[in-house]
Chains A and B, each alone.
Chain A
């Protein structure tokens, strides 16, 4: 972790842009320069940012699939236990484990847990809830939800150097470059 002269820890460096194309171009140049721990912030979803950052695949699909399978198995076992083990009841001469009738109820918790896994998985993967985010120490960052685009270089990037990174970001033609104190 880097420090300023008065020993305040630095969380990273933030470059501000006024359009998405400039941000995407900045991310690409930073990647070419060897920076790996980058992030991009925009007031609306811009798919090119994820591509430029190299987010090839989201883990959400796996998380939701696992959640759904767990829910479906639990739903089926719940019915099996109730109908075939705990309270066996002859209905129309059908077997106690009347599995064709269990499928709709198996499906429902499957869908429910898929959605729950989606919601909570997304929060977990995004690191939320986050009660304190150092990025808000930079006043300009408030406009990230209004009309500004930000490129963030983390201080724990191997290539990060306070002075060199500032100078590099200035070559990317941002509106401003700011240190992010931790």
Chain B
């Protein structure tokens, strides 16, 4: 028979980790990234190499990346509270810590909210249109534009004020469910009254179901408002699902990196290759889900053949952007799919670390591909605007990871009262 997981010696104290050295490094990386963003933006705008709207767009790439990671964590946290799967015991604390980074997103959102009101400097066509209408002096032309389909859409829905109101609503709703999920988790873990703790665990199922519903609905609204509306006429019901696929994969890869990082310290004797194989298979399913959603969007646009929808894939299939598709398809789908099929790879911690980091990078490439090809670069020459995108992802990411590690080290990395489930799980495998 196989060895047994020894959990008897793992109390709350043993399972707390000191991550202060990693936090410092993350903060330094974050400051470096933001410095890169600031210097590159200043230099390129000063020399008229890029328009101001490019700064907002690049910032948006970094912002959306960390929105995806945080909300993906909310999805998995809700899912595992609801389903009660043993897999979630290992990943619960990293997901909880990631959702508690949500207040940072509110801070990060301020420049995005600013871009709603930036008029002709806004990267959003609706914000630009709204500003243009406000300053239109020819009343006849103004009336005509307001009565157009796009004009009505902007006035009734996509105007800056209502977009901001929706964003505030999203932050309140998601912030609320994240607060409830985390406070219930604390009660389930720390309440000295065992009955009250058991009640809290039962309530986690209810809140978990609400978490999934609210995540899906709010995710749909925010990705439509903050990303899909970059394209003036493009509308795809698959786009929110592609966002969900990226959000799930990035947060799952991050949680797996945490487990792999702690396998020889706090999780020694608990985290085994057999668990890692299951988590690797889960990751394989997510790689498939991404290609399923992305291909479905492409196929529906191909089948519909509508002028307002074709712009999106045609821009991304044009020269200069096409290699991104090859990178995404080759590395994110074929390579990840090919590697994650094998148990030998999934049980190897170092290989899984590389795959997780690689897939997190690919999520960044995908988000870059949502936003950047939107803009006409024929007037921009060869300005390395992509430095801004990298600076934004790394800069915001450094601060996010710094805060995340602080949250992760606040509590034991496993739910101590439910750790016995892992023992049963491991025995069951042999």
Give chain B interface residues in 274-326, CB to chain A under 8 Å: 295, 298-299, 302-303, 305
CB pair A48–B430 under 8 Å, yes or no, is yes
Alpha-carbon distance between A52 and B301 when the two chains are bound, in angstroms? 54
Interface string of B192-221 (1 = CB under 8 A from A): 000000000000000000000000000000
A94 contacts partner chain B, Cβ-Cβ < 8 Å: yes
CB pair B1–A101 under 8 Å, yes or no, is no
B420 CB to closest chain A CB (Å) equals: 23
CB pair B299–A100 under 8 Å, yes or no, is yes
Contacts across chains A and B counted by CB atoms under 8 Å: 21
The residue of chain B having its C-beta at the shortest distance from the C-beta of A102 within the complex is B299
CB pair B1–A103 under 8 Å, yes or no, is no
Partner of B1, one of A21, A61, A94: A21
CB pair A94–B305 under 8 Å, yes or no, is yes
Give chain B interface residues in 1-43, CB to chain A under 8 Å: 1
Interface string of A86-115 (1 = CB under 8 A from B): 000000111000101101100000000000
A100 with B430, Cβ < 8 A, contacts A21-B1, A48-B1 known: no
Alpha-carbon distance between A94 and B310 when the two chains are bound, in angstroms? 13
Q: How many B residues face the partner with a CB closer than 8 A?
A: 10
CB pair B430–A92 under 8 Å, yes or no, is no
Alpha-carbon distance between A98 and B303 when the two chains are bound, in angstroms? 10
**Residues on B with beta carbons closer than 8 Å to the beta carbon of A103:** 295, 299
Alpha-carbon distance between A86 and B429 when the two chains are bound, in angstroms? 53
CB pair A100–B305 under 8 Å, yes or no, is no
A62 CB to closest chain B CB (Å) equals: 11
A53 CB to closest chain B CB (Å) equals: 16
B321 CB to closest chain A CB (Å) equals: 18
The residue of chain A having its C-beta at the shortest distance from the C-beta of B295 within the complex is A103
**Residues on B with beta carbons closer than 8 Å to the beta carbon of A48:** 1, 430
A47 contacts partner chain B, Cβ-Cβ < 8 Å: yes
**Residues on A with beta carbons closer than 8 Å to the beta carbon of B298:** 100
**Residues on A with beta carbons closer than 8 Å to the beta carbon of B430:** 47-48
The residue of chain B having its C-beta at the shortest distance from the C-beta of A94 within the complex is B305
B82 CB to closest chain A CB (Å) equals: 29
Which 5 pairs from chain A and chain B are nearest by CB?
A100-B302, A100-B299, A92-B305, A100-B298, A101-B303
**21 chain-A/chain-B pairs, Cβ below 8 angstroms:** A21-B1, A47-B429, A47-B430, A48-B1, A48-B430, A61-B341, A92-B305, A93-B305, A94-B302, A94-B305, A98-B302, A100-B298, A100-B299, A100-B302, A100-B303, A101-B299, A101-B302, A101-B303, A103-B295, A103-B299, A104-B299
